[in-house]
Amino acid sequence: MKIKTPLCCLLLAAAFLPVVRGQNNSSAAIPHLEKRGAATQLIVDGQPWLILGGETANTASSSLDYMQPVWPKLARLNLNTVLVGVAWDWVEPVEGKFDFTLVDGLLAQARENQLRVVFIWFASWKNGLSSFAPAWVKADAARFPRARLKSGRPVEVLTPLSDANRDADAHAYAAFMRHLREVDGAQHTVLMIQMENEVGLLGDSRDRSDAANAAFAQPVPPALLDYLQKSKSTLLPEIAKVWNAAGAKSAGTWTEVFGTGSAADEIFQAWHYARYMDRVTELGKAEYPIPVFTNTWIVQPEDKGPGDYPSGGPEPLTLEIWRAGAPHIDLNCPDVYLPNFTEWVALFHRNDNPLFVPESRGDAGGVANAFYAIGQHASLGYSPFGIDNTGRLVVQHPEPGQSGPSNLEDMPLAKGYAMLKQLTPLILEHQAKGTIAAVSLDAKHQTEDVTLGNYTLNIDLRRNRRNPSQVPALGYAMIFALGPDEYLVAGCDVQVIFSPRAAGPEIAGLASVEAGNFANGRWVPGRKLSGDDVLLNYDQAAAAAAGQSGSGLRFGPEGPTLQRVKLYHYH
């Protein structure tokens, strides 16, 4: 029988569904991800969008009065996107009765300030716990069962092994997404959704509820085993190691397939969280299919095992499990407050998982993080946490006890984002071309060689010329290869030496160096730099012995500045 689709459905689908990847030139398409050359980018109104973001404190967005003066401050900090929470409890306080007044108010406030939004769906889980579920869910543990720990005691955490829990969350989420489609399907203020927040079980490596124990004794679902078999040659090493150590089996219980250690528990939890959240996402996408991501509470150095950190979240060990179990979720992202930011983002930017950093720091180190994630890992953007409380994360650093600048515009984040804002068209173009790189340096990691285009760039913390061991606490740079012998560098507290990659005794000299800025995507030259500006080493004998000219780029401490350099060779 031929089924006729009503015209209204066809029109609705045409208006709201993102068109097939690579075929979308319409500014009417809803926000979506698109693979563009070397990068996967967020496309908004037909153009790639770089998130210069910030996340408000968890409950900031529960009060429009509180938020009213916050938005203009965030605009002054040069944010273009704000991550704000929407709790299940705030929109469905009584079962089946939805109230989206708060959501509409947040959208109106964001629009008044020309800001875009990423909503965080705080529902079944927030930092592993179920604090944002409505009281009618929390109070009815018989209908909405809890996870249990080894002690046999329940915790205030919904078990992911319950269809009732999942369906109640999905029902509310679908209503929320239907509402977003109605109020924002044309305007696209909302760019993406974060699904739940830092999921995983705290206090034990796996759920010990009756349902969980029964499932753990069952065979591993064939869907997961098929994924592992099919992806064998590209599996991330963390999961491959666990699976291979138990014999790379294609059938068996969780302990038979993943061993008897806590990794099997963590993988089991990950599978069940992924399946649950995939279903919630799927029903939401059926209403309004904008991109969805997760955020992870990453393993901390002091953690001894899963349960110290939320067990089952998308960690390096379980990223593949999430990809297998949650195909409707577009990307899995890390919250990184640890100093080894560069290592953590690299662990998440693997196997086609695009990077976004939904939570991190907002001080000068945060600016270095933003430059690194965006320049080196084609991140969709960056977002420090606690952004509404600009007296906390943004001002607090780098000197504990000292207050930061009193002007929002002078804060490191505002200056860093101002630079990223002027560079945005160039960043997005070069992310796609694969002609951009970045470094983030500190006392432990003072220097790095970057190979980009026809040169290797040695990027070093800016050295005191008289006493080269004297260096600043941090430095960072984003580099664009503009042509065969031309680069643009945005840097702070670094110096850069160029070496030709071509074989032979070639030395790179500076043909010209200009300071300047981009205005409306066009280079506006400032000072011509030479002499003291570019001198790195008066010891010409040493420089010649090292195959260098002794000159290079030098960036001061005043926040990121731009230099454009043309190079020539001599020998």
| Residues at the contact surface with ligand DGJ, assessed by CB under 6 A | 58, 127, 197-198, 335, 359, 385
- Report the nearest approach of ligand DGJ to the CB of residue 83 (Å): 10
Distance (Å, whole) CA 57 – CA 82: 11
Distance (Å, whole) CA 55 – CA 120: 9
Distances (CA, A) of 502 to 434, 455, 488: 20, 8, 20
Closer residue to ligand DGJ in complex, CB, 265/335? 335
- Report the nearest approach of ligand DGJ to the CB of residue 57 (Å): 8
Closer residue to ligand DGJ in complex, CB, 326/336? 336
Q: Is 307 exposed, middle or buried (0-12, 13-18, 19+ CB in 10 A)?
A: buried
- Report the nearest approach of ligand DGJ to the CB of residue 295 (Å): 6
Strand order in the sheet with 447-452: 447-452, 455-461, 494-500, 553-554
Structure token pair of residue 20: 């097939």
- How many other C-beta atoms are found inside a 10 Å radius of the C-beta of residue 26? 11
- Contact in structure between 156 and 131 (CB atoms under 8 Å): yes
Please report which residue ranges of 309-385 form alpha helices under DSSP H. 319-325, 341-348, 364-376
- Contact in structure between 430 and 480 (CB atoms under 8 Å): yes
Closer residue to ligand DGJ in complex, CB, 59/351? 59
Crossing angle of helices 262-287 and 163-184, rounded to 10°: 40
Closer residue to ligand DGJ in complex, CB, 321/393? 393
Say which residues have a Cβ less than 8 Å from residue 400's Cβ, sequence separation at least 6. none
Bridge partners, residue 385, by sequence = 55
Closer residue to ligand DGJ in complex, CB, 85/145? 85
- Report the nearest approach of ligand DGJ to the CB of residue 367 (Å): 19
Structure token pair of residue 9: 């459905």
Distance (Å, whole) CA 110 – CA 523: 31
Closer residue to ligand DGJ in complex, CB, 385/480? 385
- Report the nearest approach of ligand DGJ to the CB of residue 62 (Å): 14
Closer residue to ligand DGJ in complex, CB, 306/552? 306
- Report the nearest approach of ligand DGJ to the CB of residue 198 (Å): 4
Closer residue to ligand DGJ in complex, CB, 129/419? 129
Distances (CA, A) of 249 to 96, 220, 476, 539, 555: 45, 10, 46, 62, 55
- Phi, psi for residue 6 in degrees, rounded to 5: -60, 150
- Contact in structure between 321 and 308 (CB atoms under 8 Å): no
Closer residue to ligand DGJ in complex, CB, 282/335? 335
Closer residue to ligand DGJ in complex, CB, 333/479? 333
Query: Rounded to a whole number, what is the distance in angstroms from the first to the last CA of the chain?
Result: 79
Closer residue to ligand DGJ in complex, CB, 55/278? 55
- Report the nearest approach of ligand DGJ to the CB of residue 87 (Å): 12
- Report the nearest approach of ligand DGJ to the CB of residue 54 (Å): 13
What's the 3-state SS for 213-279? HHHHHCECCHHHHHHHHHCCCCCCHHHHHHHHHCCCCCCCEHHHHHCCCHHHHHHHHHHHHHHHHHH
- Report the nearest approach of ligand DGJ to the CB of residue 316 (Å): 18
- Report the nearest approach of ligand DGJ to the CB of residue 253 (Å): 33
Closer residue to ligand DGJ in complex, CB, 126/208? 126
Cα dihedral 266→272→275→281 (10° resolution)? -90
Please report which residue ranges of 434-510 form alpha helices under DSSP H. none
Closer residue to ligand DGJ in complex, CB, 383/548? 383
CA 41 remoteness from chain centre: 12
Closer residue to ligand DGJ in complex, CB, 287/363? 363
- Report the nearest approach of ligand DGJ to the CB of residue 371 (Å): 22
- Report the nearest approach of ligand DGJ to the CB of residue 93 (Å): 21
Do β-strands 292-297 and 331-335 pair in parallel, antiparallel, or remain unpaired?
parallel
What is 78-126 written as a DSSP string? T-SEEEEEEEHHHH-SBTTB---HHHHHHHHHHHHTT-EEEEEEEEEEE
Identify the CA nearest to 125 among candidates 28, 179, 194.
194
- Report the nearest approach of ligand DGJ to the CB of residue 215 (Å): 27
- Report the nearest approach of ligand DGJ to the CB of residue 111 (Å): 25
Bridge partners, residue 451, by sequence = 456
Position with the least CB separation from ligand DGJ: 198
